[in-house]
Chains A and B, each alone.
Chain A
Amino acid sequence: MPVEDSIDYTIPPFSFSNQDGIAVNNETVKEKIYVVDFFFTSCPSICPKMKKEMLRVYSKYKANEGVKILSFTIDPKRDSIAQLKSYAGKLGIENSDKWSMLTGEKDSIYSLANSFLVSASEDPDAPGGHVHSGNFVLVDWLGRIRGYYDGTSAESIDKLLADMDILLAEKSE
């Protein structure tokens, strides 16, 4: 009897609102490769650096329909749609379809972070009241996690950009 192959771990269904109030869910990223991170707009420590590195991803794939970026706030109480819109504006992001900053139910966001195998939690002692990993997660068109990158390291994001090109080539084969 043949041995069954193992089943790929895939991201479960989700739905959140982006900075323009538009719903973003699994259908939005169907057939796309996408990069995910978790942050909050009042984050005093690693987030600005993460956003600066994510801007490199945004700039490089601005015209590529096959790529999306999803940044989830882990502080939905303060990060309303309007707050996310203002933050995106300060970063110079005009295209919310390309780079969505997402908010929703707090519990759903934290459980989604678990699905992406990224740590995020509330911590009154941490600067800004939350702790979270600075990882960027690369997900393929079938919802499979393909890589983790340190969003605070320019060298690690060089690797992400190279891997995204490889993944796009793999998809078009």
Chain B
Amino acid sequence: MKRNFIKYLAPFAIVLIVAIFIYNIATHGHIQHPGKTTYQRECAQCHGDEGEGIETLIPPLANSDLAKQNFDSIPCWLKFGINHRITVNGKQYDQPMYGLKMDDVETANVINYINAQFLKTDRQINSQWVKQQWLNCSE
């Protein structure tokens, strides 16, 4: 009798456990991106929380054609800054960007964050790739 009872309830128990699992993922499940804190500390003062930039003083990162087309240069921009006039999405910018003091892991995380949030390309990079790109910086 008791056996039958457990047998009868088991499918319901499994459904319940799965439901709780899905509910947890849906409510607190999205783990914060490892590059988000670094982005907010190092980048957001100028480029904004949404990567929107500031007028024609600071270029946007959101959907930036320059960044998408020169993805491999991003590690060098972050390390050494940009000291020449650039064109982003049809507008010109010449406010100097300063190099940031971030290591290869922080740099990789922040690039993946910027890509996921603002550039939306299918690239996914790691700290090894960042170090490789740094070898080819022109500065």
Contact = CB atoms under 8 A, between A and B. Distances in A.
A159 B56 CA distance: 27
B50 to A, nearest CB: 12
A55 interface: yes
Interface string A43-63: 011101101100100000000
Interface size class of A (residues with CB under 8 A): 10 to 19
Interface size class of B (residues with CB under 8 A): 10 to 19
Interface of B: 45-46, 48, 54-58, 93, 95-96, 98
Nearest first, the 3 A-B pairs at minimum CB distance are A90-B57, A44-B98, A48-B46
A152 B45 contact: yes
Contacts, number: 33
B55 A90 contact: yes
Interface in A45-84: 45-46, 48-49, 51-52, 55
Interface in A111-130: 127
Given A45-B45, A49-B45, A49-B46, A92 B98 contact: no
A152 B93 CA distance: 22
Contact of B57 (A45, A91, A127): A91
A92 B55 contact: yes
Contacts of B93: 90
Interface string A68-108: 00000000000000000001011110000000000000000
A17 interface: no
A91 B45 contact: no
Nearest to B95: A90
Most buried by B among A49, A52, A91, A92: A52
